[in-house]
Amino acid sequence: MNIIQAEYTHPYDGYRMLCGSAMAEEQVYRKVQGKLRNTWYIPVNTETPGEGIQLDTHDPRSEGYAGRTLSFRLEDGTVDQVKGPWHSNSSALFEDTGVDVRDTFRTFVVIGLQREYRNTKDAYAPPTIIDVLYLDPPEGQIGSFNREKAIAKKLFGEYAELETLYYYSQSRGGTSSGPINRKDCAGVAI
């Protein structure tokens, strides 16, 4: 088994809150009409548009972003004022419009044989992944949001004796960590 590093703990400098509405208003968007009467706003000034998809359902009671009216700058120079839009996801966008940005998320992934939580004083502190089999470069990589499953499927193919791996993943929107079982990867494309 090719253990590339004994253990990895992601650098941590405390929990930070992001302001989603401010981040949404920083983007420049392409406006796309969906089959379901929705208006989608897809960021065009980033290499990771899947991370910033916004959705206007045209419901005057919409409470996205606490019902605020956001200003979305469009690629043609105009600005749309949208009340209560929702931050949405690339799969829903694809289903409603056929626009595919599902593989445009920047994530940092580590996969190993074990996981421990060593910082017991801060619930937001990342775990330590032990006996690391896969480690992204520090800047992460662009791909599907849950690409740790495809990486794990490759590792399960290389190591038939493994049934469970542990991952840590960080994206612009937060982190996740947990076990990945061989059966969880059955339908995952590589």
Please, what are the averages of pLDDT over each run of 10 residues along the chain (190 residues)? Answer: 84 71 93 95 96 95 94 97 96 97 96 90 85 95 94 94 95 89 86
The tokens describing 85, both together, are 């839009």
pLDDT at 190: 75
Contact 107, 149 (CB under 8 A): no
Measured between alpha carbons, how far is 70 from 21 in angstroms, rounded to an integer? Answer: 7
In the block, which residue shows the tokens 């419009």?
97
Kind and range of the H or E run holding 173: none
Phi, psi of 53 (to 5 degrees): -70, 130
pLDDT at 187: 82
The alpha helices in 98-187, defined as continuous H runs, are 148-158
pLDDT at 30: 98
Which contacts qualify for 102-105: CB closer than 8 Å, 24 or more apart? 102/50, 102/144, 102/145, 103/50, 103/142, 103/143, 103/144, 104/47, 104/48, 104/49, 104/50, 104/51, 104/142, 105/48, 105/50, 105/51, 105/142, 105/143, 105/144, 105/145, 105/147, 105/171
pLDDT at 58: 94
pLDDT at 182: 94
- At 77 the three-state DSSP class reads coil
pLDDT at 162: 94
Going from N- to C-terminal start, the domains of the chain cover 5-15+104-185, 20-97
